[in-house]
Structure 1
Amino acid sequence: MPSYCVNKNEQTNGDHEVHDLTPGTCDHLPDSRNRLDLGYHSSCSSAVLQAKQTYRQSNGCKHCTPTCHTT
């Protein structure tokens, strides 16, 4: 089961991106100080839902969680 984080910094469109922390999965991870740990999830969709509890405008990273990337 993968571990996820959300970027504390918003993108230019206001999204906070959710990333899969599995080693080698994402080349676009935020710096460790800019990550909010979301823990382990069976899918990116549940990780995004958890991220939205902190950052209402959260979205999956188009590189490592493309099925949860909507904007």
Structure 2
Amino acid sequence: MAQYFVNRNAQTNGDHEVHTSTCIYLPALHNRLDLGYHTTCVTAVRQARNTYRQSNGCRTCSSVCHTQ
């Protein structure tokens, strides 16, 4: 299981990216919302969408959940 976070700041396209705790693109502490531990990014992104409807997996650490 990995710990996931969603970026409180949206990307230019409106996406709030979901990252693992070990991602090189993990946002600063004050810019992330803890999503807890998940077995896959699928459930982490689903949880992120409860807060930010337009959430997406990070291309680097959650590539399975990243959409164009």
Name the TM-score, length of structure 2 as normaliser: 0.97
Pairing 1:53–2:68 present: no
- Cα distance in 1, alignment partners of residues 49 and 63 from structure 2: 17
1:4-53 C-alpha deviation (Å, 9 max, x unpaired): 000000000000000011x3xx1111111000000000100000000000
Between the aligned partners of 1:40 and 1:11, the Cα distance in structure 2 is 23
Structure 2 residue matching 1:37: 3-state secondary structure: strand
Pairing 1:40–2:37 present = yes
Q: What are the within-5 Å matches in structure 2 for residues 1-71 of structure 1?
A: 1-21=1-21, 23=22, 26-71=23-68
The structure whose residues are more often strand, as a share, is 2
Structure 1 residue 55 displacement after superposition: 0.1
Task: Please provide the CA RMSD for this pair.
Answer: 0.6
| Mapped partners of 2:35, 2:50: distance in 1 | 11
Question: In the alignment, residue 56 of structure 1 is paired with which amino acid?
Answer: R
* TM-score, length-scaled by structure 1: 0.93
